[in-house]
Copies of this chain bind each other. A is one copy, B any other.
Amino acid sequence: MEAAKFSTELESSKQQTNYAADISSIQEARDRIGPYIDKTPVLSSSSLNIIAGRTLFFKCEIFQKGGAFKFRGACNAVFSLPVDLADKGVVTHSSGNHAAALALAAKLRGIPAYIVIPKNAPICKVENVKRYGGQVIWCEPTMQERESVSAKVQEETGAVLIHPFNDGRIISGQGTISLELLEQVAQLDAIVVPISGGGLISGVAVAAKALKPNILIFAAEPKGADDAARSKAAGHIVTLTETKTIADGLRAYLGDLTWPIVRDLVDEIIVVEEGEIVEAMKICYEILKLAVEPSGAIGLAAVLSHQFQDNMRWSHCQNIGIVLSGGNVDLSVLWESFQKAH
């Protein structure tokens, strides 16, 4: 028994060192992106703490440049590139915040950014890309089309593909959130993070568990795109033939670099209903006074859900960090979703 346990630990420790990011790469990312990113504030609300029965600390990545955490990873990727590669520019396919973030990072380095965007992307997110000088290339809204159009751009321009999440530089950049957050609020028992492709939660989990091994990492996922929860249950990456959620930023699947980290370091995936996401956005607006997009509000939805509130296993989690990952929401979307919900 002891021997068996020992070998499992060895294996797990070996796995750990093979992740696409580690605490060193995340600390390096912090130094690299420090001059460009904003150190985002942590906000709390005593009214909301009473509702939640916990002390909640909101890490406001909605105030990050570009309106979302994505700028951290994009900035780390762009400023990691050697000069000769960088000069040809960067390319990505993204419906949202990664696109704007990459455009802005490229602008800061003075290199071109080619952004392949599906035709159904939210208007405010496309406007952000244009505002930061990204060159928009439209495509049909399927993953196949996104990938083939990107490949074509790569071929024609020599630009480097920067994947939105399945990239060690991206994961390391997102992980800088934990370095800041644990400096700002040392007493955290847990951090709740939205999950989609897994770039954000992978970085947050690797850094947080390196600094504070007992901290719990919860993922929050919409029921209409619950591939990560299914993947954890199955023990391998599961993809869905279709996703349906208001949380437009959470429709991607885990990648081969994010999956091992999610598998090993994420303690639980909390799956929430659409109505819970809308209610959380409403609370963000009415009580926190913050504009938070559906994907950004899902962490709060998870903490307020019965699933979390009624689970005695988490009753010791009194100080909870929640990453408000992004604030790019068209007011019309906010309004219409509130109307539908009532």
Contact among B45, B282, B288, B331 for A285, CB-based, below 8 A: B331
Q: Across the two chains, which residue of chain B brings its CB closest to A338?
A: B331
The A178-213 residues at the B interface (CB cut-off 8 A) are none
User: For the complex, what is the distance from the CA of A46 to the CA of B38, rounded to whole Å?
Assistant: 10
Q: Are A289 and B63 in contact (CB under 8 A)?
A: yes
Instruction: Please encode chain A, from 62 to 79, with 1 for each CB lying within 8 Å of some chain B CB and 0 for all others.
Output: 110101000000000000
Min Cβ gap A105→B in Å is 14
Instruction: Please encode chain A, from 56 to 94, with 1 for each CB lying within 8 Å of some chain B CB and 0 for all others.
Output: 000000110101000000000000000000000000000
Q: Are A124 and B289 in contact (CB under 8 A)?
A: no
Interface residues on A, range: 20 to 34
User: For the complex, what is the distance from the CA of A46 to the CA of B67, rounded to whole Å?
Assistant: 12
The yes or no answer to A43 lying at the interface (CB within 8 A) is yes
Residues of chain B with a CB closer than 8 A to A335's CB: 331-332, 335
Given contacts A41-B41, A41-B43, A43-B41, contact A289 B338 (CB under 8 A): no
Instruction: Please encode chain A, from 266 to 299, with 1 for each CB lying within 8 Å of some chain B CB and 0 for all others.
Output: 0000000000000000100110111110000000
Min Cβ gap A133→B in Å is 13
Per assembly, the copies of the chain total 2
The yes or no answer to A334 lying at the interface (CB within 8 A) is yes
Contact among B46, B47, B131, B291 for A289, CB-based, below 8 A: B291
Min Cβ gap A326→B in Å is 9
The yes or no answer to A327 lying at the interface (CB within 8 A) is yes
Residues of chain B with a CB closer than 8 A to A291's CB: 285-286, 289-291
Min Cβ gap A35→B in Å is 13
Residues of chain B with a CB closer than 8 A to A334's CB: 331
What 4 pairs across the A-B complex have the smallest Cβ distances? A289-B327, A289-B291, A62-B289, A335-B335
Q: A: which residues have CB within 8 A of B? A: 41, 43, 45-47, 62-63, 65, 67, 124, 131, 282, 285-286, 288-292, 327, 331-332, 334-335, 338
27 residue pairs of the A-B complex, CB under 8 angstroms, read: A41-B41, A41-B43, A43-B63, A45-B63, A46-B65, A47-B131, A62-B289, A63-B288, A63-B289, A67-B289, A124-B286, A282-B331, A285-B291, A285-B331, A286-B291, A286-B331, A289-B290, A289-B292, A289-B327, A290-B290, A290-B291, A291-B291, A331-B334, A331-B335, A331-B338, A332-B335, A335-B335
